[in-house]
Chain A
């Protein structure tokens, strides 16, 4: 990201969308010629952080360092827009880097507040939340912003005044909100996971590409130094070929392992329950016991464990934790996945689960098993780890190579880490996760976790939940779940495909 200015010249760019295609193509070709002339760092960046995900699925194997063009292939056209000088494409309402974006926040009471802080240098022109009470503090923080309860009303009334939206609602409403915004040509920052279902993730990815808006998923770790180090260590061969990665997370995200609550107190006056439900099947507002046994409502906070609204620990954290694994090891869609858990339940995610993905060979990278653990379960402690040293924290990744192991972004044991030192720094560093998106909105290059990257990543994460929900059937039938990624289809257990796409409530469509 630090290269944005150096490569692209920095100023006067726009994400202009209404340009005749031939103009763009011509400019693109000129710019690409210039850009590929010997910029090693930039090529490296593209290989590691290109938003093009899972290129092996398109039949093109990875070759380590691909040219930007090869990697970008189908998004090349979209990328091209980013380098068109503003003066050529000028249209009122577009923001060059010198101008501020007009941003609307949707779902602002929780994580949304933090996201808004990160983009607070821009104009926060509108705020939307179905829970007045939860959002009250943030409403107050931005006195000039117009306040809304229904995002559809907001986009309808303020549409012309909004350049970009930040979405931090519960998972089940990400897709309908993001799609509405994309169709209106708004740039979108959406919290992770991108969507509640695989089908939605695919639709958003394609729609964003078509609408040529700047997008970013809220997996801020992708912009970190740690993610770059993981890629650089592995690319430098510090642990040899990697055939096995373990990822675990022991966070408490929400009550889980529960049945549908029977305690249905009246909806608080400050909450629009019907809007909160959005496209999810209707159910009464309710309370249920959390881990301390205290009665809590679905919202705020306690919805993540409920399949109708959230996506469990894997959905919540997977897009963070699996991101560096996918980047460093160039993962695309898996060929198969299997899962086991502490009790399948149609209402909530289990208290603990293990999901095991098998990925095919990718170019010269060997096939890989990725095992995910949550609810306190962990992989075996590696022999390389010194006695008494904590094995990761509540969450971490363990990369098992044929020449060594890496815990998070540190080689183990510590003596090996000291001996090896740092890998060569070949990847450009990020100006910051939210900043990447803001720059992209203003005509910069695509953000590191734009939907071309984050959509497929989310798909794979959510596939794990399908394996969890089908785990008992899979066991009974003696199967792993085989998956056709490009066609979004479980090939050997048709019943599983019901989870690929959610049935929306009447009145809600993508």
Chain B
């Protein structure tokens, strides 16, 4: 038989593509806080703003940790999640988060400029990057969902982490909340990162166009199916076009309101891209046979 379209089975007793539906908003929030928190921390370490680093750490632990615990069916048993780091990426992320938090606290506790501080600064930066990308491995570790099963994902997590952290900083600095030594031009960084992220997402999605039928079904759901409105609205229009337009044409000179708007728009796009990637996670038909 040819020319047959494989249906989306949902809960019906039909052989077809099926959407994953157990990792949704709380996992998306955990990823969101995880990336923004680690991004803030990394930027804060680089820009030497310990308070913001602490805030990043707090967002990481409370935001991501809290979302994950709420996500659990049995939150009171959360501590059991550490049991199997040898094979489970969830266990590993919990360990990575714990170790990172410990290192970060040590770094913040050390006298600034001391050799130990220098040492822990490097370790904390590595930890921050590790925290950002391990979440990507959680998704990447699901071979059943071809959309997620690509090394592009951990990379995207890192990119979004940096962008997220930068956006928050952008707001804090140009909003006049925080003063930093202008090691780097945050406005340029923000613009560059938005463009890099845009390219990252585009390359990721483009790579799926020639992937398996199942991955293409994910892509179809995202670009043409039931989630396309959310994708084009929140991710593309708000997350990319609006932020780029605002940074390019108004930027920091637009004042606190514009800067706040840019950051908000970026964070909205940020949340929704990963939320939608979760929602459009599609499995192949059970037997693996698209037709009979």
A and B co-occur in one complex = no
Q: Which residues of A contact B (CB under 8 A)?
A: none
Q: Which residues of B contact A (CB under 8 A)?
A: none
